[in-house]
Amino acid sequence: MSSHTARYGSVLARWAAETGCEQAKKEALATLALAEYSACNHTSKGNISVNSVGIEWYGVWYSDSYFDYLPHYLEGMAAWPEIIPEGTNHIFSTTCMLKDVEYAPGSIKYTALENNGTEILKLSFEPKVLSGGEPLPKSCWKFGSWRGCNNILTINRKDVTDIEIVEK
């Protein structure tokens, strides 16, 4: 089912990210794409997705392709941010829980639940990073390429919970 396929794709993506294995990366991206197909199928009605258990059995099984496979996609995106659409802004990796996340054109704000941590974002703009309205020291963040993807912002927070990222 989709959750197992997506799990396999996320494990391959992580393996490829750690080892640089191009074959594992290709298989990871193909596997994650394949898992998407079960989210909407012949039993779906309009924009409401209904996933069936199998080809011959049309009873609905609500435990697959809803919540349990989505975290695997997030893990795959954290390994290979190139699968995040260009021109969009996303926090795609974090070492702790975040709350009060606000996305606006040219701006992202959030509060971390821990004083220290790391967030990685894909942005559509060149950023300036603030905490409490003041610039976060440049030594705490980096903007550029990461794993072959451009416009990646990595923030390493030290004794900071409130972050605001604004267009430069």
Angstrom distance (rounded) from CA 147 to CA 86? 15
| pLDDT band for position 34 (cuts 50, 70, 90) | confident
* Same domain? 44 vs 62: yes
Domain shared by 71 and 7, yes or no: yes
What pLDDT, on the 0 to 100 scale, is given for residue 22?
A: 94
What pTM, to 2 d.p., does this model score?
A: 0.78
Tell me the two tokens of residue 110. 């959030």
Residue 135, number of CB atoms within 10 A of its CB = 11
Same domain, yes or no: 76 and 99: no
The larger pLDDT score, comparing residue 59 to residue 27, is at 27
3-class secondary structure per residue, the chain = CHHHHHHHHHHHHHHHHHHCCHHHHHHHHHHHHHHHHHHCCCCCECCECCCECCCCCCCECCCCCCCCCHHHHHHHHHHCHHHCCCCCCEEEEECCCEEEEEEECCEEEEEECCCCEEEEEECCCCEEEEECCEECCHHHEEEEEECCEEEEEEEEECCCCEEEEEEC
Instruction: Identify the domain containing residue 130 by its residue range.
Output: 90-167
pLDDT at 18 over 50: yes
For residues 109 and 60, membership in a common domain is answered with no
Give yes or no: residues 69 and 126 share one domain. no
Number of independent structural domains in the chain: 2
Give me 30's structure tokens. Answer: 């193909």
Q: Report which of residues 58 and 111 the model is more confident about.
A: 111
Whole-number pLDDT of residue 48: 54
Residue 24 pLDDT exceeds 90: yes
Residue type, 158: K
State pLDDT tens for residues 76-110.
Answer: 888 888 888 889 999 999 999 999 999 999 999 99
Last residue of a domain, one of 27, 54, 80: 80
pLDDT at 57: 47
Contact 84, 73 (CB under 8 A): no
State the pLDDT at residue 145: 95
Query: Taking Cα atoms as reference points, which of 122, 127, 100 lies closest to residue 111?
Result: 100
- Rounded distance between C-alpha atoms, residue 62 and residue 48, angstroms: 12
The reported pLDDT for the residue numbered 35 is 77
Residues 73 and 94 in one domain: no
